[in-house]
């Protein structure tokens, strides 16, 4: 997919979400860095398209956030469990050191 096609696809995606495509919104939603003149040119082209031409545009492929969320949540749970274990170990070491001091 060319850079212009990427810009057009993102603009279409934004429009489908009920947002007015703008340079800033397009730039923020692009998966890859695209030069500003290309974004401006793509937005200009998008605004000149008819409704039927806009409907033919391919929406950018994005990962489903619902499928990513459980794995991210599981990873965070594992990390919390590890941190709790480390904290318990440190508390035990501290307790041992304090008892040895007295």
Show me where the domains of the chain are located.
3-56, 63-102
Whole-angstrom CA distances from 35 to 3, 4, 24, 47, 101 are 9, 10, 12, 19, 65
Instruction: Quote the CA–CA distance of 11 and 88 in Å, as a whole number.
Output: 51
Low-confidence ranges of the chain (pLDDT < 50): 63-65, 67-68
Contact 34, 2 (CB under 8 A): no
In the chain, what's the furthest Cα-to-Cα distance? 83
Q: What is the pLDDT of residue 78?
A: 84
Q: Please tell me the pTM assigned to this model.
A: 0.57
Q: What does the pLDDT look like over 34-63, one tens digit per residue?
A: 999 999 999 999 999 988 888 888 765 554
Contact 60, 10 (CB under 8 A): yes
């Amino acid at each position: 997919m060319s850079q212009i096609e990427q810009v057009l696809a993102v603009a279409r995606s934004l429009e489908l979400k009920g947002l007015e495509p703008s340079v800033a919104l397009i730039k923020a939603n692009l998966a890859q860095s695209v030069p500003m003149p290309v974004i401006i040119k793509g937005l200009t082209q998008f605004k000149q398209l008819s409704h039927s031409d806009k409907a033919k545009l391919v929406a950018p492929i994005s990962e489903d956030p619902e499928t990513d969320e459980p794995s991210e949540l599981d990873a965070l749970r594992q990390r919390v469990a590890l941190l709790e274990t480390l904290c318990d170990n440190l508390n035990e070491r501290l307790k041992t050191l304090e008892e040895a001091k007295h």
